[in-house]
Amino acid sequence: MAIPIKKRVKGAVDLAFSIAGELIKAATFKKIIAYAPDPFTGAIVNVYGTASVNYLPLSFSSQDADGVSIVYGDEKWLVKATDLAAIAPIPFSGDWFEIGGVRYDVRAALLDPTESLWTFQIRRTIPTPGAAGPADDWGDLTAFTSNEAWGDLALADSADDWNVLTPAGIGPSDDWGDLTAFSSNEAWGDLALADSFDDWSVNV
């Protein structure tokens, strides 16, 4: 009489995940399953297949990590096959998981012979810093042309850069304390002679 291996293995997997309890974590599996034209723009867009899964995270041994196929920091995730039964084509390298907006790439995927358990090699994706827009430049060391440059160490061409270390090309009424002479009655603290009767703090 044949032994129902698949049934027994599936029961063992279900039991193991039940016993693991607090070690089990949740994630969303994602893969591109098709490409289709956007009905409004005509551009080709990705069509995604997704599935909510529970996984058991494990570590690779130092003997497993060869520095090429498996690197330090890679993880081994075990996922019940029933969680991914609706995904087609089946999972493979290039798919990914997401947890709280963080992406974890599938580097390898293996389904056991009884089709009860997936074993994934996972590598966390480190986001590449993107180019900052004008409103994101808060204190560069280079000149900036936006009124958001609050404290550059180089010349700025905006009247809103109040902390430049070199004289900026600003209007007469905005010169509050240059180290050079100023010809406006708004120069309230120059260290050189000003030609206005309103310069009350000159030193010469």
- Cα–Cα distance, 160 to 173 (Å, whole number): 13
Residue 52 lies in a domain: yes
Closest CA to 14 of 43, 67, 56, 52: 56
Rounded to a whole number of angstroms, the distance between the first and last alpha carbons of the chain is 111
| Residue 115, domain member (yes or no) | yes
- Higher per-residue confidence, 126 vs 141: 126
In a domain, 131, yes or no: no
What domain range is 114 assigned to? 5-124
CA distance 169 to 184: 14
Interatomic CA distance for residues 204 and 198, integer angstroms: 14
Percent of the chain exceeding pLDDT 90 equals 52
Compute the half-sphere exposure of residue 35: CA atoms within 13 Å on the CB side of its CA. 3
* Number of domains observed in the structure of the chain: 1
DSSP characters for 49-109? EEEEEEEEEEE--TTT--SSSS-TT-EEEEEEGGGGTT-SSPP-BTBEEEETTEEEEEEEE
For 2-44, give the DSSP string: ---HHHHHHHHHHHHHHHHGGG-EEEEEEEEEEEEE-TTT--E
Residue 191, domain member (yes or no):
no
Domain assignment present for residue 111? The answer is yes
CB 59 within 8 A of CB 75: yes
Tens of pLDDT, residues 78-126: 999 999 999 999 999 999 999 999 999 999 999 999 999 999 999 998 8
Q: 31: buried, middle or exposed (CB in 10 Å: 19+, 13-18, 0-12)?
A: buried
Give 159 or 6, the one with higher predicted confidence: 6
Residue 77: the pLDDT is 98
Assess if residue 168 is contained within a domain: no
| Residue 143, pLDDT score | 55
Which of 30-34, 87-91, 99-103, 131-135 bottoms out in mean pLDDT, i.e. has the lowest? 131-135
- Does 183 have pLDDT greater than 60? no
Residue 94 lies in a domain: yes
| Mean pLDDT over each residue of the chain, to the nearest integer | 78
Out of 32-36, 97-101, 184-188, pick the least confident: 184-188
- The CATH number assigned to the domain holding 50 equals 2.40.10.270
Quick check: is 154 in a domain? no
